[in-house]
Amino acid sequence: MERFQHTANLLTVIQTCRPQALSLIEFLTNLSKGWLILVDTFFNPSSLDLNPY
């Protein structure tokens, strides 16, 4: 059953997105944007704007 774990994880994500009216593509897009911001901030800390105004 170990070989089906990735499929099970993906189906869990889809089931979690449905009540939030979020498509899988939107979820993956938001996830990748978040990672890009995290990586950019890590390698270029000056890009982090701490001024809320």
DSSP for 1-53, written as a single string: -GGGHHHHHHHHHHHHHGGGT--HHHHHHHHHHHHHHHHHHHH-GGG------
Q: Which residue matches tokens 């993906």?
A: 10
User: In percent, how much of the chain has pLDDT > 90?
Assistant: 23
- Number of separate domains in the chain: 1
Mean pLDDT score, 19-32? 90
Residue 10 domain-assigned?
Answer: yes
22 lies in a domain? yes
pLDDT at 53: 66
Question: Is the predicted pLDDT of residue 48 greater than 70, yes or no?
Answer: no
Q: What pLDDT sits at residue 26?
A: 92
Yes or no: say if 29 and 18 are a contact pair by the CB < 8 Å rule: no
Q: What is the Cα–Cα distance from 10 to 43, expressed in whole angstroms?
A: 30
pLDDT tens digits for range 8-24: 998 998 999 889 898 98
Rounded Cα distance, 41 and 6, in Å: 29
pLDDT at 50 exceeding the cut of 80: no
Residue 22: give the domain boundaries.
2-46
Q: What is the mean pLDDT of residues 48-53?
A: 65
The answer to whether residue 52 is domain-embedded is no
